[in-house]
Structure 1
Amino acid sequence: MARTGAERHRGLGGAAIPTALRWGILGAGLVADDAVAPALREAGHDLAVVASQSLSRAQSFAARHGVRRARGSYDEALAARDVDAVYVALHPAAHEEWAVAALEAGKHVICERPLSTDAGSAARIAAAAVANGCTVMESQPARFHPRTQALLELVDGGDIGQVRLMTVALSQRMRDLDNFRARPELGGGALLDLGTPAIAMARWLAREEPEGVQAVSRRWRTGADGVIAALLSFPSGAVASVAASFEGAAHEVLEVSGTYGAVGTQLAFNAGADDEVTLVRDGREIGSWRADPYPRMLAAFADAAASGREAPLPVEDAVATASVVDAVRTAAG
C-alpha cells in the first residue's frame, strides 16, 4: 500500500472517527470549486494543495477554500510529500495522464467521471493503481446517496420482481461551444459527460452487463455528440433506455419497472444537501432523504485508501461502464 499520513483513531466509547487524508486537487474548475473542495472540508480532510494551469486561478481557489498552497503546475502538486490522495478534476482527455502520474507518485486517486475517454484508457489507470499499490476510484457521488442505496436494495431484494425495463435520462442545457464538453478532442460530448453516470446506474440496477446495444446520436459542428440515446439489452431479459442531452433543460429521469411493480425517483444524479428526494413505488411515496453524497463518497474512499482495502466502488466498475460507453459510441456511428 502507498505510504499515507492518514490516521484513524477510536473515539470515546470505541466509535470510529473518520479517516482524514491530505489532499491535492488537480484542476480548479466548477466541480472542484462547487462540490469537491467544500465536501473535503466537511469530511474533515486537509486540503494541502490545489494546482491549475493558471496560478492566479489556483490562488483564488485556495483562498476561497482554505487550501494551504496553490501551484501553477500539476507536477508540483504530485511531488508534494504532504499529499496522500489526489482528486483529478480535469477534462476527460487528461485523466489518464494525470491519474497515472499521481498513482506513480504513490498517491491514491479519485478521478472525476468518466474515469477516462474509453475502456482501454480506463484499464491502464486501473493497472497503474495495482502496480503502485494505490487505490483509485471514479467519482460517482450518486452511488453514495442514501436514496440510491435504498433503491438498489429494494431492486436487489426482489420487491418489484424481475427488472424488465429501466428508463434513465439526463439533460443539461449547454450553450458554450468553447467549453471542453463541446470539444471531442478533450473528451467532450453528452455520452461521456452525462451518459457515463446513466449507463453506470443501469448496470448497477441490472447487476449484469448488457449483451446488446443500439444507439443514435446527433453531433454538433464541433464534432461532439450533443444528444445520444441508447437501448441496452441484458441477458436476464431486462432492457434499459438511456438518453443524454446537452440540448434540453435540466432534467433527470430514473424509473425501474419489474414484474411485480415499478419504482422511480427524481434528481437521481445531482441531488444536493438541500434537495429532498423521494422514492415512489406504484404511485406511493415510500421514503424521502436529504443528503450531500460528496462527503459520504470521500469519507468511504479515504477509509478504504488508508486501510489498504478495495475502493468502495471498485475501479473495475468504471472500466465496465467505459466498455458499455464504447459500445454505445460504436453503435451510434
Structure 2
Amino acid sequence: MLCEKPLTATADEAQELFALAADRGLVLAEAAMYRHHPQTALLRQVVAERLGPLRALHAAFHYPIDGLDGDVRARPELAGGALRDLGLYCVSALNLLAGGEPEEAVGRARLHRGGVDVAFGGLLSYAGGVTASFHCSMDSALALHLTVTGEHGTLTVPNPFQPGRPSIWAPRRCPAEATLSTAAGEERIELPGGDPYLSEVEDVARAIRGAGGFTIPAAETIGVLRTIDRLLASAGVATAPPAPPAPPASAATA
C-alpha cells in the first residue's frame, strides 16, 4: 500500500500499521512525493559536502486554500490543519537534513473557527546545537522556501517540495535553481527535473518485487509524525482527532 501523506494522524497509529504490515509480509509506504524527486538527493549532497557542520535551518510553506470553511483540511475529525497538510513537508525536510528527530520541539498555532490549526510555526533543536524553524499556513499568499546554513555557507532553495513542475504552485515564481552563498561568492546550482509521483510509484513497485527498500523507511515516517505530535501538544492543539459521534440507536441495531 502506498498511502498519501500523512500516513496516519499520529505516530502511534503509524507504528501499529507498520507492525501489522510487517507481520503479514506486506509493503506499506508513505507517499511524501518530494522525497523521491532527484532534487532532494542533490540538495542532501550539497548540504553534506559544501556547507560544513550545520548551524541553522528554516523552511516555509504557505498555500491559500479557497473555500477553506468547507474544505476537508479544515475538519478536525479528519485530522485536518496546516501542520499535517503543509507543515509536514517542512518538518520532513528539516529532520532529513538535520539527521533525525529534534531533541526539543516548540509550536504555536493560529486556529481556524472549526478548531484546526490554520497556521503553525515551530522551533526545533537538534543534536549538536543545530536549530531550525518553520512556518506554514492555509490562508496566506503562496510562499515556500528552504534555507540551510552551515559553517562554510548557506544554501537557499526557492521550491524545495515540487521543483520545476508546471502546477498550481506557480512554478514561474519558483525557479529550478538553488543558490549557494560562501566566502567565495554566490553560486547558482541548476536543479534536476523529474516526476516525483512517478518515481514513488516505481519505488514502491520495486519494494513489492523485493528489488529494494522504499525510499522513505518506516522509521522516518514515524519520526516525522512523532515530531508533529510534539509540536501540536506544545501548541495546545489536540494530537488525535476527536472520536466520531456514536451512530443513532436505530442504526446501531439495524
Q: TM-score, normalised by structure 2?
A: 0.84
Mapping 1:74-93, distance limit 5 Å: none
Distance 1:321 1:230 in 2: 13
Distance 1:111 1:198 in 2: 19
Q: CA deviation at 1:187?
A: 1.2
Distance 1:277 1:143 in 2: 16
Aligned to 2:108: 216
Q: CA deviation at 1:288?
A: 2.8
* Helix, strand or coil at the partner of 1:290: coil
Mapping 1:175-254, distance limit 5 Å: 175-176=66-67, 177-254=69-146
Alignment-mate amino acid for residue 229 of structure 2 = D
Alignment-mate amino acid for residue 225 of structure 2 = A
The yes-or-no answer on 1:162 pairing with 2:53 is yes
Q: CA deviation at 1:206?
A: 0.4
1:168·1:243 contact (CA, 8 Å) conserved in 2? yes
Q: Deviations over 1:192-223 (max 9, x none)?
A: 11111210100100012200111111101100
**CA-atom RMSD in angstroms:** 1.4
Q: Deviations over 1:300-327 (max 9, x none)?
A: 2211221164322112211110000000
1:173·1:247 contact (CA, 8 Å) conserved in 2? yes
Q: Deviations over 1:242-292 (max 9, x none)?
A: 111012112111010001100011221123534551121013202232222
Aligned to 1:290: 193
Distance 1:273 1:230 in 2: 28
Distance 1:332 1:173 in 2: 22
Query: What is the aligned counterpart of 2:22 among 116, 130, 134?
Result: 130
Aligned to 1:262: 154
Alignment-mate amino acid for residue 111 of structure 2 = R
Distance 1:175 1:223 in 2: 18
Distance 1:160 1:175 in 2: 39
Distance 1:137 1:288 in 2: 26
Distance 2:104 2:135 in 1: 16
Query: What is the aligned counterpart of 1:174 among 54, 58, 65?
Result: 65
1:126·1:316 contact (CA, 8 Å) conserved in 2? no
Aligned to 1:331: 234
Alignment-mate amino acid for residue 271 of structure 1 = P
Q: CA deviation at 1:182?
A: 0.6
Aligned to 1:281: 180
Q: 1:273 to 1:292 in 2, by over 3 A?
A: farther
Deviates more, 1:218-227 or 1:172-181: 172-181
* Helix, strand or coil at the partner of 1:214: strand
2:36·2:215 contact (CA, 8 Å) conserved in 1? no
2:10·2:226 contact (CA, 8 Å) conserved in 1? yes
Q: Which has the higher contact order (CA 8 A, sep 6+)?
A: 2
Q: Deviations over 1:81-112 (max 9, x none)?
A: xxxxxxxxxxxxxxxxxxxxxxxxxxxx1110
Distance 2:222 2:230 in 1: 13
2:102·2:125 contact (CA, 8 Å) conserved in 1? yes
* Helix, strand or coil at the partner of 1:143: helix
1:218·1:225 contact (CA, 8 Å) conserved in 2? yes
Identity within the alignment, %: 29
Distance 1:260 1:272 in 2: 27
1:165·1:256 contact (CA, 8 Å) conserved in 2? yes
Q: TM-score, normalised by structure 1?
A: 0.65
* Helix, strand or coil at the partner of 2:59: strand
Distance 2:2 2:135 in 1: 26
Distance 1:122 1:198 in 2: 19
2:63·2:140 contact (CA, 8 Å) conserved in 1? yes
Aligned to 2:205: 302
Distance 2:232 2:64 in 1: 21
* Helix, strand or coil at the partner of 2:12: helix
